[in-house]
């Protein structure tokens, strides 16, 4: 359906533009006898199809944008759900590798996501001797051994 709309829009805009240019040239020509008829034709076979084609293109692009936003929202919800589940399972500690493995994100995307969440939740992180990062989020629990 979307392909049909795109093709229809392209045809309407192309023919509308061609007729518009030809009819404007006809109206501007001092030798034209029937300027009123040319003006009416300009509106009917030039501008109207161009406007309908423009509307079809706008409609297709608007629907594609809404679908893209819905997919991005679903992906964001999926990542957030996995993030919270890993935090709960690992007592507030999470590594980029474990997050990347669970989410199927690239290592860099996983780290960027965790960096963003660390800023958002004011988390800390540790880097071990091998350079591995562990993010530590405060879950509001007292550490073991404290009163």
pLDDT tens digits for range 49-84: 999 999 999 999 999 999 999 999 999 999 999 999
- Range of lowest pLDDT (6-15, 108-117, 133-142): 133-142
- What's the predicted TM-score (pTM) here? 0.64
CATH of the domain at 117: 1.10.10.10
What is residue 34's three-state secondary structure? coil
What is residue 102's predicted lDDT score, i.e. its pLDDT?
A: 95
Do 60 and 111 lie in a common domain?
Answer: no
Look at the chain and report how many structural domains it folds into: 2
Any domain includes 81:
no
pLDDT band at 128 (very low <50, low <70, confident <90, very high): confident
What is residue 146's predicted lDDT score, i.e. its pLDDT?
A: 47
Do 61 and 19 lie in a common domain?
Answer: yes
Residue 114 sits in which domain range? 90-139
Any domain includes 94:
yes
Do 14 and 67 lie in a common domain?
Answer: yes
Any domain includes 10:
yes
Do 67 and 1 lie in a common domain?
Answer: yes
Any domain includes 48:
yes
């Amino acid at each position: 359906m979307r392909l049909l709309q795109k093709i229809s829009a392209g045809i309407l805009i192309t023919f509308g533009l061609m007729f518009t240019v030809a009819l404007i040239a006809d109206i501007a020509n001092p030798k034209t006898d029937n300027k009123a008829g040319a003006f009416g034709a300009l509106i009917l076979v030039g501008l109207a199809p161009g406007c309908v084609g423009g509307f079809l293109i706008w409609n297709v692009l608007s629907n594609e944008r809404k679908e893209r936003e819905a997919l991005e929202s679903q992906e964001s919800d999926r990542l957030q759900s996995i993030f919270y589940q890993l935090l709960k399972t690992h007592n507030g500690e999470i590594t980029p590798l474990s997050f990347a493995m669970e989410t199927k994100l690239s290592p860099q995307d996983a780290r960027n996501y965790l960096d963003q969440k660390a800023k958002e939740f004011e988390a800390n992180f540790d880097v071990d001797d091998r350079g591995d990062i562990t993010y530590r989020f405060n879950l509001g629990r007292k550490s073991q051994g404290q009163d």
